[in-house]
Amino acid sequence: MTKPQSWDARAKEYSLYGFTDMPSVHDRGTVVVTHGEGPYIVDTNGRRYLDANSGLWNMVAGFDHKGLIEAAQAQYARFPGYHAFFGRMSDQTVMLSEKLVEVSPFASGKVFYTNSGSEANDTMVKMLWFLHAHEGNPQRRKILTRWNAYHGVTVVSASMTGKPYNEVFGLPLDGFIHLTCPHYWRHGEPGETEEKFVARLARELEETIEREGADTIAGFFAEPVMGAGGVIPPARGYFQAIQPILCRHGIPLISDEVICGFGRTGQTWGCETYDFIPDAIISSKNLTAGFFPMGAVILGPELAGRIGAAIEEIEEFPHGFTASGHPVGCAIALKAIDVVMNEGLADNVNRLAPRFEANLQRLAEKPNIGEYRGVGFMWALEAVRDKATKTPFDGKLSVSERIANSCTDLGLICRPLGQSVVLCPPFILTEPQMDEMFEKLEQALDKVFAELA
C-alpha cells in the first residue's frame, strides 16, 4: 500500500467525515491538529488557531490543562479501567455520583453513566419508557422536544433533535413531536410581545398534550439554551410558562445540560440561570472538560425514587455500557468539576461575560448583523441580508461558512450554524485573547460582507 503524501490527502483517503461541509474540505483541505496550548490548537503545519468553540463546546479548561492531565495519569496508574455491572463499580464512580448529586439543583438523586450525551438522552428515554410501563402506562411513549433542538445522533436522540438534516436517515421515528423553538427574535410574529409569544408557545404545548393525550407522552426534553441550534436562549419566562403545564399532566421535564452544564451559562447549570428545577439533568461534554468521553443522567429525587422502586421490583435494570462509570473518566470529571467551580474558571466566565456582550453589541451595529444573543460564554451573531425585515441571505451564498472560513484563515476557529456564527471559547480565556478573538472576527465579517455587498 502506498500512502498518499500530505496529511490532508491521508485524511481524505481513509477517514469518513461527519458533520463536515465536504465542498469546503475539497476546497480548503483538512486541518489536522497535533496539540493545543491553552485555548489554541496547533496543526501539522505549525499554524496556531484560537479555538473560540472550545473544540466542540467541551474543552472548557483549554487543551493542555496540567491538573486534568495529572488526574488522568494518576488514575491510569492506579486503575485504568472497570465497569459498573453486577454490583461492582470503581471507587471513583462512587465519588463522582456523590459529587454530581451534591452540585446538582436536587436535594437528593441518583446518577447513571454513559459514554456520550446522545447515549445519556437515549438512556433517559429508556428509563422513562420503563418507568411508565412499570407504573401501568405502557402507552406513555411519545417524547416532546422543540424544533432546532440538538440532543445527539443515536436513533432516539437524533429523533429528539429538531433538525431537518435527519431526514436523510428517515428520522425522526414516530412519536417524537417537535414544538416551536422559543426564539422570540426569529419566531415572534409582527407586533407580538415577548410575553404573548411565550403565552402562544405555552398554548401550543397545552394543545399538543390535549391532541396527543397526556397519557401517551413520556417526557419533555429541553436544553436551557439551545446550543447546536444556534445558541438560542429561551424567551423570557418560557420555562416558567411551560413547567406548570407539564407538571399538571405528569410529564417529566428533562434538562439537557450537555452544553449548559458546569459553568457555560455563568452558573453551574443552565436551569439555575433560567430559574427552574427539572426532573432530571443530562450531562456530558463539559463534565470531563472534554478529556474523556462520558455522559451522565442525573435523576432528581422524584424520578430517582420511582425508577429505583421499579428496578427493585424487576430486580435488574437491563441497561448499561461497557465503559459506564469508567474510573478514569470519573477521576477526570471529579477534577474537572473542581477546576471549573473552585479554580476560578466559572468566575472567569462571569467576570468576562459583560465584556463579551459589549463586543458583540458593537459588532451587531453592522448593517448585516441581525441579532446577537447568548449568555455567559455562549453567544451567536446572526447575519441578515436586510436588518429591518430580518431577511436572511440566500442559503446558496453560505454566508456563515464564508465568515467561519475567513476566521480560520486569520487563525480563529468559530462555527457556522445556519446563518449564525457561534462563539463559545474555553473558560480560561484571558482579556487579550478575547480581544484577539473579536479583532479577527471583525476582520472576517468586514471582508465577507464587503464581498456580498
Ligand X SMILES: *Cc1c(COP(=O)(O)O)cnc(C)c1O
CA atoms 261, 265, 269, 275: torsion sign:
negative
CB of 260 to ligand X, least distance (A): 8
User: Are the CB atoms for 419 and 392 separated by under 8 Å?
Assistant: yes
163 is an interface residue for ligand X by CB under 6 A: no
Strands (E), 150-236: 176-179, 217-222
117 is an interface residue for ligand X by CB under 6 A: yes
Q: Which is nearer to ligand X, 122 or 382 (CB)?
A: 122
CB of 394 to ligand X, least distance (A): 28
Q: Which residue is nearest to ligand X (CB)?
A: 117
Q: Which is nearer to ligand X, 229 or 370 (CB)?
A: 229
Q: Binder to ligand X among 93, 284, 405, 419 (CB under 6 A)? A: 284
Q: Binder to ligand X among 49, 130, 150, 291 (CB under 6 A)? A: 150
CA atoms 323, 327, 331, 337: torsion sign:
positive
User: Are the CB atoms for 353 and 149 separated by under 8 Å?
Assistant: no
436 is an interface residue for ligand X by CB under 6 A: no
Q: Binder to ligand X among 228, 304, 380, 429 (CB under 6 A)? A: 228
156 is an interface residue for ligand X by CB under 6 A: no
Cβ-based neighbours of 44, under 8 Å, separated by 6 or more: 7, 32, 33, 34
Cβ-based neighbours of 157, under 8 Å, separated by 6 or more: 117, 118, 119, 121, 122, 151
Q: Binder to ligand X among 132, 142, 151, 264 (CB under 6 A)? A: 151
324 is an interface residue for ligand X by CB under 6 A: no
Q: Binder to ligand X among 51, 256, 371, 436 (CB under 6 A)? A: 256
Phi, psi of 26 (to 5 degrees): -65, -40
Q: Which is nearer to ligand X, 154 or 419 (CB)?
A: 154
CB of 151 to ligand X, least distance (A): 5
CB of 228 to ligand X, least distance (A): 5
Contact region with ligand X (CB under 6 A), list: 116-124, 324-332, 379-387, 443-451: 116-124
400 is an interface residue for ligand X by CB under 6 A: no
Q: Which is nearer to ligand X, 120 or 131 (CB)?
A: 120
Phi, psi of 9 (to 5 degrees): -65, -40
Beta bridge partners of 373: 380
Q: Which is nearer to ligand X, 333 or 384 (CB)?
A: 333
What Å distances lie between residue 5 and 13, 28, 47, 119, CA to CA? 11, 17, 19, 37
375 is an interface residue for ligand X by CB under 6 A: no
User: Are the CB atoms for 224 and 255 separated by under 8 Å?
Assistant: yes
CB of 106 to ligand X, least distance (A): 19
Strands (E), 249-334: 253-256, 280-283, 295-299
Q: How many CA atoms lie within 13 A of 58 on its CB side?
A: 18
β-pair type (217-222, 253-256): parallel
Neighbours of 350 (CB within 10 A): 15
Instruction: Report how many residues bind ligand X under the rule CB under 6 A.
Output: 15
288 is an interface residue for ligand X by CB under 6 A: no
The whole-angstrom separation of Cα 260 and Cα 124 is 18
Beta bridge partners of 299: 110, 280
36 is an interface residue for ligand X by CB under 6 A: no
Q: Binder to ligand X among 92, 118, 348, 420 (CB under 6 A)? A: 118
CB of 362 to ligand X, least distance (A): 28
Contact region with ligand X (CB under 6 A), list: 1-9, 89-97, 117-125, 318-326: 117-125
CB of 387 to ligand X, least distance (A): 29
Q: Which is nearer to ligand X, 65 or 285 (CB)?
A: 285
Neighbours of 325 (CB within 10 A): 25
Triad 51, 52, 53: Cα angle to 5°: 90
CB of 237 to ligand X, least distance (A): 22
152 is an interface residue for ligand X by CB under 6 A: yes
Applying CB under 6 A, which residues contact ligand X?
Answer: 116-118, 121, 150-152, 223, 227-228, 256, 258-259, 284-285
